[in-house]
Structure 1
Amino acid sequence: MDKELIAMLICPVSHSELTYDRERQELRSSISGLAYPVRDGIPVMLESEARAMSTEEKLGKAAPAP
């Protein structure tokens, strides 16, 4: 994903900045604890499509992939 696009996007729930996880193809908000999928290069910024992050993910610790 383009770094400039990521910098413009915010979490629709917490209005906080997002970080991009290239491996899992998702944008993450540690404040809201949600991870938004990126499908075909397009961020899906809908709360209903977001995945709840684990406690370890929210704290920035490594967590096993599902």
Structure 2
Amino acid sequence: MLSASCGRLASVLRSTRVLPSTVARRYLRASGSRPSADQRERTEEPPRAFDPSLLKFLVCPLSKKPLRYEASTNELINEDLGIAYPIIDGIPNMIPQAARMTHQSKKQEDTEQQ
């Protein structure tokens, strides 16, 4: 279906003298395509909330231990490692590089106490 739409769009673009981007926008609007990201932002849909019942299934990808949901910061917290995973539009970002440290490492705490 997509290839047929692309073929029709290409034939329309070849037969017109109007800017291709104008024809493409008009064609895509007429074919009932989904709204673009810009159009979705203009409608200002409310951000999706995280469902805490998912905590039964989610574990830290590093330690494989359960996580705690912190509503005030909208993060999933691993207390043992001191890592907080952000939740964006109701979807947890469980990539370790995206996580932030919630406390200093024990070595740093020990050196500060001495």
TM more than 0.5: yes
* TM-score, normalisation: structure 2: 0.46
Question: Which of 70, 74, 79 lines up with 1:21 in the alignment?
Answer: 70
Instruction: Give the aligned CA root-mean-square deviation in angstroms.
Output: 1.1
Structure 2 residue aligned with 1:5: 54
Aligned-pair identity in percent equals 38
Structure 2 residue aligned with 1:54: 103
- How many residues of Structure 1 are paired with residues of Structure 2 in the alignment? 55
Structure 2 residue aligned with 1:60: none
Q: Quick check: which one's helix share is greater?
A: 2
Q: Distance in 2 between matches of 1:53 and 1:13?
A: 15
* RCO comparison, higher one (Cα < 8 Å, 6+): 1
* TM-score, normalisation: structure 1: 0.76
Q: Distance in 2 between matches of 1:52 and 1:7?
A: 23
Q: Quick check: which one's strand share is greater?
A: 1
Consecutive aligned runs of 4 or more in structure 1 exceeding 2 Å deviation: none
Higher Cα Rg, which structure: 2
In structure 2, runs of 5+ residues without a counterpart are 1-49, 105-114
Q: Secondary structure at the match of 2:77?
A: strand
